C-alpha cells in the first residue's frame, strides 16, 4: 500500500483552513493508498491560521504543522513539503480550496501505473457564471479543462495545478527560490525526466476566483510571468500561452450569449494587458516571489462541498 502525504501551503488562511482540514479528515485512503499525514506549512501568518491548525490536530492526529516565521514565497513552502513529507506520493493543494468528496482518491488512482509521475485535479470556480466576473472565471477554467484533457490524451501534458495536484517522490525536484509558478515548474521537471503527467477531470476541487477586475488582472499577470519564466528556463511549450492553440479552445468555451461574448472579450483584453506588462516586469526584474494575495478570492463561504 502506497503511503500518501497531503501538503498545504498557507498564508493568513483563517477563513478557509479549518473547513479544508475538516473535509480532509474524511479522507482516510482506500484501495492501495493510505494517507499517513496532512502537513500544513504556515508561512509568516499574522492571523489565526496556526491556532486553527493546532485545534484541528486534536481531532486528527495525522495533521502536522510547520511554521515558517518569515514569508519567503510559495516555492520555499513547497520545498519544505518536499523535504519533510514522508509519503511516497505528495498531494499538494492550496489552503483556500475545498476538494470534493472522493477527489483525492480519484487523483491518486493513475499512480497504479508506475510510469505516472504526477497528476492534477480539475479546479472549478464557485463564482456564479451569471455575473460578469464569474463568467470570466468560469471561461478561463473551462479553457484549462479542455486544453488539459486534449494534452493529457496526447501525452504532452505537464501543467500541474496548484489548486490540487500530486507528485511521486522520485519525480519531485527542489524548486529554485526565484521560481514564480512552483506547480508548473514541478510538472515540467518531471516531464523532462520522462514521467507521465495526467489530468484527472473527476478530481474536482472548488476554488474562488477574483471578484473584482483589479484582482483578476493581478492574478493573470502573475500566472503569465510564471509561465514566461519557465519557458525561458527550458523552452517549455505551454499551450495556454500559445497564440496558435489558445484561441480555438477559447472559441469553443465562450458561452453563446451576449454576456458570454462580452465577458470573453473583456477576459481577452485583460489577458493581452497581462502579457504585455508581465514581459516588461520580467525584463526589469520586478518578479513577485512572495506576491500579495488576492483577497477577493480567499473565502469560499458556505458553498456545499459534497
CA distances from 12 to 19, 295, 298, 301 (A): 14, 10, 10, 16
Half-sphere exposure of 97 (CA within 13 A, CB side): 27
CATH class of 1-96: alpha beta
Domain ranges of the chain: 1-96
Tell me if 119 sits within 8 A of 200, measured CB to CB: yes
Which backbone phi and psi does 118 adopt, to 5 degrees?
Answer: -160, 155
pLDDT tens, 28-50? 655 578 899 999 999 999 999 99
What pTM value is reported for the model?
0.90
Residue 90 above 70 pLDDT? yes
Give the contacts of 277 (CB within 8 A, at least 6 positions apart): 221
Q: How confident is the model at residue 306 (pLDDT cuts 50, 70, 90)?
A: low
Residue 286 above 80 pLDDT? no
CA distances from 185 to 95, 169, 306 (A): 20, 15, 31
Starting at the earlier edge strand, list the strands of the sheet with 116-125: 63-68, 33-43, 2-10, 89-94, 164-168, 116-125, 196-207, 98-99
Which pLDDT belongs to residue 25? 87
The stretch 271-276 carries a mean pLDDT of 90
Amino acid at each position: 500500500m502506497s503511503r500518501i502525504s497531503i501538503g498545504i501551503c498557507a498564508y493568513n488562511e483563517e477563513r478557509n483552513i479549518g473547513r479544508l482540514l475538516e473535509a480532509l479528515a474524511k479522507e482516510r485512503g482506500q484501495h492501495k493508498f493510505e494517507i499517513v499525514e496532512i502537513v500544513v506549512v504556515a508561512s509568516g501568518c499574522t492571523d489565526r491560521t496556526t491556532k486553527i491548525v493546532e485545534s484541528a490536530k486534536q481531532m486528527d492526529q495525522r495533521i502536522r504543522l510547520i511554521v515558517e516565521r518569515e514569508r519567503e514565497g510559495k516555492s520555499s513552502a513547497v520545498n519544505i513539503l518536499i523535504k519533510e513529507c514522508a509519503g511516497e506520493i505528495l498531494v499538494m493543494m492550496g489552503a483556500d480550496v475545498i476538494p470534493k468528496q472522493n477527489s483525492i482518491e480519484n487523483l491518486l488512482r493513475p499512480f497504479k501505473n508506475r510510469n505516472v509521475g504526477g497528476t492534477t485535479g480539475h479546479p472549478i470556480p464557485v463564482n456564479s457564471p451569471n455575473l460578469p466576473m464569474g463568467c470570466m472565471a468560469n471561461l478561463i477554467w473551462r479553457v484549462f479543462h479542455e486544453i488539459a484533457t486534449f494534452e493529457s490524451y496526447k501525452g504532452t501534458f505537464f501543467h500541474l495545478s496548484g489548486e490540487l495536484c500530486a507528485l511521486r517522490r522520485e519525480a519531485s525536484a527542489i524548486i529554485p527560490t526565484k521560481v514564480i509558478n512552483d506547480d508548473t515548474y514541478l510538472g515540467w521537471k518531471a516531464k523532462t525526466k520522462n514521467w507521465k503527467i495526467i489530468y484527472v477531470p473527476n478530481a474536482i476541487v472548488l476554488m474562488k476566483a477574483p471578484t473584482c477586475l483589479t484582482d483578476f488582472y493581478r492574478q493573470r499577470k502573475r500566472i503569465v510571468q510564471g509561465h514566461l519564466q519557465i519557458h525561458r528556463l527550458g523552452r517549455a511549450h505551454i499551450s495556454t500561452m500559445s497564440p496558435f492553440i489558445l484561441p480555438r479552445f477559447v472559441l469553443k468555451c465562450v458561452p453563446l450569449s451576449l454576456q458570454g461574448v462580452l465577458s470573453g472579450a473583456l477576459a481577452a483584453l485583460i489577458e493581452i494587458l497581462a502579457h504585455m506588462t508581465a514581459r516588461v516586469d520580467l525584463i526589469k526584474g520586478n518578479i513577485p516571489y512572495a506576491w500579495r494575495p488576492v483577497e477577493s478570492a480567499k473565502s469560499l463561504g458556505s458553498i456545499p462541498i459534497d
